[in-house]
Amino acid sequence: MLESVVALELPALLARRGPPTAKAIIAALKLDPHRGQKWLELLLHMGLLEPAPSRHPQPRYQAGPLMRALFYADGTPVWFYQDFLRYFNTVLNFDTVDVLRGASVPDIAYPPRTPAEVEALEGWMRTTAGETMETIERVVSLKGTQRLLDVAGGDGTMAVHYARRHPQLHVTVFNLPASAAMARRNVAKAGLSKRITVVEGDFRRDPLPRGYQMVQFSRVLADWPEDVCRLLLGKARASLSPGGRVVICEPLADDNPDLTLAWHFSYLPYDDFGARLYKPLAAYERMLQELGFHLLRVARKDRHGIHAVIVAQRPDASPAPSRRPALPATQRGGKRQ
């Protein structure tokens, strides 16, 4: 049903015309009248449409709550959902039993191998960065922070945003070579080359640069199983100065059960990734505890998005022990950390 709404551009029609009648929708979209009426009834049932307040004798229809969540006001699909639908259907076209028995699947690999694949990945990250940055900035204060490391920082979109808003801040973007090249171009275009450094590397194999007051993982850890996440958080600990903070902005499995199910299904053929990609809050708390971090704050997802923010502090410069006493109680609400 969602695919039909996208293909027929119904949200754009509603945005252009205002609340139309069922007859007007069916005529504009060139639908079979009988089938079109049944289709509209299904959209009402799903919350993609809703009746519009009207004094006209013929009922009129407007975007329902689900459509308003999935499409912009002009009727174009929100990038996240548009690309997620494409991504999900790529996997859905495979025979699941064949995949589970080891069948070869084309075009399913990480990291991206061609310029087009790199642009597609970083286009996703760039277009959806606004919501993520708003989420982080509601929770984390950068006042007084002078050195920030953005791990897998995409094409530099977030680094440019932070540098413009905080004149005292120097940001380092760490990413794979092709994405790093994109970041350098964007940083130069923004005129921020003196305050944003781009470092090439593979975080699975290479150490992270050191000497930072804050290390950020934004939409990174949710794509990797716990063993990789623990490795990355250990590298972040080594990268931080004593007292520095690690900031994790990711969807949590216990906050997003439906999205977790869909995401894990779509990752079945991706052999570069393991299981349990979307993780519950308890998994992050356990990993941080094992690495010696002090938990400062957890802000769970709200109605504006899918991401939670976890802030933890490196207490000292000693080597990370394998076990530490229980974390202090999570701080919720209050001032930004």
pLDDT band for 327, please (50, 70, 90 cuts). very low
Q: Is residue 236 part of a domain?
A: yes
CA dist 287 and 231 (Å) reads 10
Alpha carbon of 223 to those of 6, 51, 146, 260, 265: distances in Å? 27, 39, 28, 11, 13
Q: Are residues 293 and 213 in the same domain?
A: yes
Q: What is the CATH number of the domain that holds 64?
A: 1.10.10.10
Q: Look up residue 103 and give its two tokens.
A: 């069948």
Q: Are residues 59 and 180 in the same domain?
A: no
Residue 80 clears pLDDT 60, i.e. is over it: yes
Q: Are residues 122 and 175 in the same domain?
A: yes
CA dist 170 and 159 (Å) reads 9
The pTM assigned to this predicted structure is: 0.79
Overall average pLDDT of the 276-301 stretch? 94
Q: Are residues 46 and 128 in the same domain?
A: no
Overall average pLDDT of the 272-276 stretch? 78
Q: Is residue 97 part of a domain?
A: no
Q: Is the dihedral of CA 121, 127, 128, 132 positive or negative?
A: positive
Residue 323 clears pLDDT 50, i.e. is over it: no
Number of domains in the chain: 2
Q: Are residues 126 and 48 in the same domain?
A: no
pLDDT band for 109, please (50, 70, 90 cuts). low
Average pLDDT, the chain: 88
Q: Is residue 67 part of a domain?
A: yes
pLDDT at 330: 43
For residue range 112-144, list pLDDT tens digits in order.
777 877 877 787 788 778 888 989 999 999 998
Q: Is residue 23 part of a domain?
A: yes
233, 288 in Cβ contact below 8 A?
yes
For residue range 186-224, list pLDDT tens digits in order.
999 999 999 999 999 999 999 999 999 999 999 999 989
Which residue carries 């609340």 as its tokens? 19
Q: What domain range includes position 68? A: 2-75
Alpha carbon of 152 to those of 42, 111, 121, 200, 275: distances in Å? 42, 12, 12, 10, 21
Q: Is residue 55 part of a domain?
A: yes
